[in-house]
Structure 1
Amino acid sequence: MKQIERYIFIRMALLTFWSLSAVTLLVMTTQVLVRVNVLTTTGQAFGAFLLLAATLIPSVLTIVAPFALLIGVSQVLSSMNSDSELVVVEAAGVPPATVFKPVLMLSATVSLAVLLISHFVEPWSNNKLHDVLAQAQSDLFSVAVRSGTFMKLVEGLHVQINEKLADGQMGGIFLSDNRTEGNETIYYARSGVVRKSEETGSNILFLVDGELQQRDLTSDRISIVTFTSYALDMAAFIPAGSAPAMRPNERPTQYLLHPDPDDYFMNGPKNAITQELVKRFSTWMYPLAFGLIAFSFLGKARSNRHEQFQNGALVAAIALGSRGLGFYSTEASGINQTMEILSYVVPAVLILVFGLLALTGRTLTIPKAWAQLNYRVMDFCAAQIARLQGRGRAGEGHST
């Protein structure tokens, strides 16, 4: 790599890194605050907060990495144009590939990192996140015993305990579970106790003398089962001894490619497994696409600084529009095959079109008609601001 290429690459890499760190910290903070009520209610230690934040980092990185790269590449190219560095590079007879090579290398590196995180790191972190929240939900029972009020463990799962009895037992247990779409399950028991399982080490809620009511919301059928004893694994609130259903974002890619035919997430109203596969195999393309877009509009010296600013705005608009369409198509891919195909087509077309432009040495700019219209709008706004400021000064002079 030549010295000028190393110079450009290092500048872009540093700005991308700091942009990624700042945006990741901001997004991660909002995600932690969404879940912090469970930890604070149960009195979890500060280490639990750090663990919760750490498990959220991989999923946040895959989302913000393309935008951090876009900021890094666009800002460095714009700065080089403003400081006339691109003019000097072109005047020295340096081919456009000299500027394009660092952009391509950085974009490919970020894309590869996103690919590895999506397939290996993020599933593990999502599984760990589930364990952290499950432990906090288990501890919520002690809070529910003290308060005697309804306590929401997670969305769709509520518990109420009337009183605390001798030997750590609880009286009047009511548990409502609406987490499964189209199904409602209610547990009621006269008493119960929490014991740790010697085999699994998890907390088991033993219900004594109660009823289990299951209601199918689609057909409005209700089935009632009376029991003398019933055991629930508090880590996932499923019958003790049953295997908890892992969500697709916690599964390795190998399983998602060959799932169990009876997997609930595959046979549900929305194929969440297909949705997760589309997400993992399409997200990695956006950093490469964004880098090529930024170079195609900003990789050549511009004498008009307004034009450079407008090109930057157009780059941001194309990136935001394509990524927004990608989010929508990925979300709908589990129920619509057309959207599944579109999830791959959008970033692939961006890479193909802007990659060909970059390889052939061609750059794009905002159309002249748009530029002239923008100039008129900016001149009109400047004139209106100046007129308002003139009226303000005249009013002050009259008052004095």
Structure 2
Amino acid sequence: MTLLERYIFRRALISSAGALVSLSLIVWIVQALSRIDIVKTSASAAGNILWIALMLLPDLAAGVVPFAILIGAIQTLNGLNADSERAVISASGGSMMIVARPILLLGFLGGLLTLTVAHGLGPMASAGFYNGIRSINVDTITVFLRPGRFERVQSDLVLSVGESNGGTIKSLFIQDTRDPQLDLTYFAKEAAIIDNEESPVLMLFDGQLHRKERESGSISVIEFQTYAFDLADLKPATEERWTRTSEQSTLQLLTPDVNDPSYQRQPGRNVEELADRFTSWLYCIVFALWAVAVAGQPQTNRQASSAAMTFGLAGAIGLKALGFVTLSFVGDNPSSAVFVFAVPIVAAILDIVLIRRGLNFAQLAIVQTIVDWPRRISLMLGRRSKAGPADSAGRAGS
């Protein structure tokens, strides 16, 4: 790269890094706050939640990398125009490639980072996150249940405690309707969690078990002194696979166990996850090209630079939304994965065509009209405010 290209690349890299940190923190805080309500009684639980929330960062950061590159590139190009540097480059005979090459290099670096997360760090972090959620489900009774309230741990599992003191529980109630043939209701004066080598067990003391058969409606009551409730059953009682595709490595997705019932039921899930991992990096390059297309042309200081950012973000959001829509079809129709690849590739070709044609978005009539709206509205309001006192004075004189 030439000295000028290194200068543009350095500015774009700094702006993109700042945007990446800001966007990642905003999205991460929102995700973390949505789960902070389960931290109620234990400082160690708060530490666990913080660690679990940190596992969200790799995927969240990878998801906003394309937008960070777009924002950083447009800010850099707008800065070059604001300082008249872009006009000097053009006047001295510099081609568009002098501006496009460092921005495109930034897009490739962002794509490399996204690929690394998608095929390496991302699945490991996702597995750590969901394993933490599962461990929270196991410790729900002693840590997260508030005394006197009925909490729905799952759609078919309701728990309530009268009092919780460390690992000891007073007045425990459990309603378990996950079995399609039986409704189970547990009452216990005391309970405690015992960690076995295989799985944790909730020991119930001095209570009753009410069993109701749904078909016949008959009820049987069993009194017990001790009863073991297996906490390992606290997992989503749905048809979804317990190990999600996002937790599996790319090699596992490419070579699935054909005898796995969940894979036999929904083989398109693997294809959907693979399509997402192999196309997410392309958006970094597409958004870099789009930034050059909307903000790479030389402009004067009087031309609004906000139009480039507005059109850049609008186009990027629209393209990403289209990518999500096409990806959503892959789970039911794996052959539609070709459209997931087609969306960013076609968009990149269109961006290259726009750059080669030298189309200046700021000079388009529709852009000028949109940018001029605030000025027109302010002039209209100013005229009305001036006409108001004059009209009132006229009425007073008459």
TM over 0.5: yes
- Deviation track 1:247-291 (CA, whole Å, cap 9, x = no partner) reads 111111111122223445434469433332222122111111000
Corresponding residue of 2:379: 383
Q: How far, CA to CA, are the matches of 2:277 and 2:212 in structure 1? A: 39
Q: Structure 2 matches for 1:114-153, cutoff 5 A?
A: 114-143=114-143, 147-153=147-153
- When residues 395 and 175 of structure 1 are mapped into structure 2, their CA distance, relative to the original with a 3 A threshold, is farther
Corresponding residue of 1:18: 18
- When residues 226 and 347 of structure 1 are mapped into structure 2, their CA distance, relative to the original with a 3 A threshold, is farther
- Deviation track 1:13-42 (CA, whole Å, cap 9, x = no partner) reads 111011111111111001001111112355
Query: Is the 1:5–1:101 contact (alpha carbons within 8 Å) kept by the matching residues of 2?
Result: yes
Q: Structure 1 residue 118: deviation in Å?
A: 1.3
- When residues 340 and 155 of structure 1 are mapped into structure 2, their CA distance, relative to the original with a 3 A threshold, is farther
Q: Structure 2 matches for 1:10-49, cutoff 5 A?
A: 10-49=10-49
- When residues 106 and 176 of structure 1 are mapped into structure 2, their CA distance, relative to the original with a 3 A threshold, is farther
Q: How far, CA to CA, are the matches of 1:210 and 1:378 in structure 2? A: 70
Structure 1 window deviating more from structure 2 (4-13 vs 294-303): it is 294-303
- When residues 353 and 25 of structure 1 are mapped into structure 2, their CA distance, relative to the original with a 3 A threshold, is same
- Deviation track 1:190-231 (CA, whole Å, cap 9, x = no partner) reads 556521122x4x52335798578899xxxx999x99999665
- When residues 226 and 82 of structure 1 are mapped into structure 2, their CA distance, relative to the original with a 3 A threshold, is farther
Q: Which residue, out of 283, 292, 295, partners 1:295?
A: 292
Q: Structure 1 residue 295: deviation in Å?
A: 0.7
Q: How far, CA to CA, are the matches of 2:52 and 2:96 in structure 1? A: 45
- Deviation track 1:160-180 (CA, whole Å, cap 9, x = no partner) reads 356889x957766424477x9
Q: Structure 2 matches for 1:267-346, cutoff 5 A?
A: 267-268=264-265, 271-303=268-300, 305-306=302-303, 308-337=305-334, 339-346=336-343
Q: Structure 1 residue 235: deviation in Å?
A: 8.2
Q: Structure 2 matches for 1:1-400, cutoff 5 A?
A: 1-143=1-143, 147-153=147-153, 157-161=157-161, 173-176=173-176, 187-189=184-186, 193-198=192-197, 200=198, 202-205=199-202, 210=209, 232-234=230-232, 236-237=234-235, 245-263=242-260, 265-268=262-265, 271-303=268-300, 305-306=302-303, 308-337=305-334, 339-355=336-352, 358=355, 361-366=356-361, 368-371=364-367, 373-374=369-370, 377=373, 380-391=376-387
Q: Structure 1 residue 88: deviation in Å?
A: 0.7
Q: In the alignment, residue 275 of structure 2 is paired with which amino acid? A: V
- When residues 137 and 113 of structure 1 are mapped into structure 2, their CA distance, relative to the original with a 3 A threshold, is same
Q: In the alignment, residue 279 of structure 2 is paired with which amino acid? A: S
- When residues 238 and 91 of structure 1 are mapped into structure 2, their CA distance, relative to the original with a 3 A threshold, is closer
Report the RMSD for the aligned CA atoms in angstroms: 4.0
Q: How far, CA to CA, are the matches of 2:358 and 2:211 in structure 1? A: 67
Q: In the alignment, residue 381 of structure 2 is paired with which amino acid? A: I
Aligned residues: 383
The DSSP-based 3-state class of the residue aligned with 1:260 is coil
- When residues 176 and 346 of structure 1 are mapped into structure 2, their CA distance, relative to the original with a 3 A threshold, is farther
Q: In the alignment, residue 322 of structure 1 is paired with which amino acid? A: L
Q: How far, CA to CA, are the matches of 2:58 and 2:393 in structure 1? A: 60
Query: Is the 1:150–1:160 contact (alpha carbons within 8 Å) kept by the matching residues of 2?
Result: yes
Q: How far, CA to CA, are the matches of 1:221 and 1:330 in structure 2? A: 46
- When residues 41 and 119 of structure 1 are mapped into structure 2, their CA distance, relative to the original with a 3 A threshold, is farther
Query: Is the 1:20–1:65 contact (alpha carbons within 8 Å) kept by the matching residues of 2?
Result: yes
Identity rate, percent? 25
Query: Is the 1:159–1:175 contact (alpha carbons within 8 Å) kept by the matching residues of 2?
Result: yes
Q: In the alignment, residue 16 of structure 1 is paired with which amino acid? A: S
Q: Structure 1 residue 299: deviation in Å?
A: 1.4
Q: Which structure's relative contact order is higher, taking Cα pairs within 8 Å and 6+ residues apart?
A: 2
**TM-score, normalising length from structure 2?**
0.80
Q: Structure 1 residue 46: deviation in Å?
A: 4.6
Query: Is the 2:137–2:235 contact (alpha carbons within 8 Å) kept by the matching residues of 1?
Result: no
